[in-house]
Structure 1
């Protein structure tokens, strides 16, 4: 990535990411999205087929009233900046997924579980449209291959056939492909815009209720540690 730092988009600083991370951890319950999940969700919305307004996705992120107006304005400003930064980062090849960290027997390790959970919930917000297009066009499923592999590996999605766990190298390779996947999916929807039939499928499907429900596919995963690039 050869983009000069002076040309990078105005992304959240490390201090701002830590601030948002602390807020989400202090105001989230089991199954709620943390910073990695919010980033995954906003990433999917950024490259998706139709705009999803903040009033639709904010209930997936915020679950308690703000303590006061100042706190509310600050958190909303950080979320807006995070949201705006994703498209800008993709435009200049500066996108990096925000990943969680989990404790294992061999020590802390990066995990895409939260990011994939957020990505999945974003698709749920336009479920009928995504499901119809994925069924009609195998090329879109192929583009999403690395995301799907990580999501199945982490138990976010269930696989119809037997699925062998990814090796560490395969897992890392899928992670490295996420920026390219997002760019390819964004380009796909630009080249294959939403049709009337897609819209009919969208109106017939009910979005997920949010609030941390993961559809019974997997129990909430305990994540520890801080946000990490």
Structure 2
């Protein structure tokens, strides 16, 4: 009897990624997320403390009515598949971020700006829970170190102290650690789930001090 092969996560193929990218670019406004940003947003939700339903995160991605029902169904199906693929990739340690590509004097280079922007917005959707746990548990902050370094370097997050720009080698090293970071954070929340007290405290804080996200940057072309 043959042993069945392990199924590889069902990610979007290149044509589907291009289709979703083109839709987002055609309907982008100032500060809206492009494909790399959407992937960062969904990645943060996938490894976060509590489930965030589509009706909560879709307004972060879609900002205009669809031209017709078929277009809407197609875009929603692509977004659902992208979202599902992240969880599937994390389950088999095969996660890979969708990154931006920007032109420089020496040619195109990878950029984490858009992905980090989206990841930060995903954290914003459960800001109270993230902020409290990050303050209470240095282990989680240490895990997020490479992603935080990229976000500060790209101006997505503000550093408490003066921050020296990453060298090209340091930037590339942080990029290479993103899959490991997400796997570790995903396992962290599974092993240390939020308590009812933390949820209640986060709700009270949100009601008293609405979270204002920092200014965001836009990224260039995506690559996977």
Q: TM-score, normalised by structure 2?
A: 0.92
Deviation at 1:123, TM superposition (A): 0.6
The two structures, once aligned, show a CA RMSD in angstroms of: 2.0
Name the residue aligned to 2:80: 80
Extract unaligned runs of 5+ from structure 1.
Answer: none
- Count of matched residue positions in the alignment of Structure 1 and Structure 2: 219
Partner in structure 1 of residue 223 of structure 2:
228
SS of structure 2 residue aligned to 1:118: helix
Deviates more, 1:61-70 or 1:167-176: 167-176
What is the deviation of 1:6? 6.5
Displacement of 1:7 in angstroms is 2.8
1:119-198, aligned counterparts within 5 Å?
A: 119-198=119-198
Using the TM superposition, name which of 100-109 and 65-74 deviates more. Answer: 100-109
2-structure distance, mates of 1:88, 1:209: 33
The 2-side partners of 1:53 and 1:91 are apart by 20
1:103 is paired with a residue whose SS is strand
Could you list the structure 1 runs, at least 4 aligned residues long, displaced by more than 4 angstroms after superposition. 207-210
d(CA) in 2 for partners of 1:135, 1:128: 11
Partner of 1:215: 214
Q: Deviations over 1:29-69 (max 9, x none)?
A: 12100000000010110011100000000000000000000
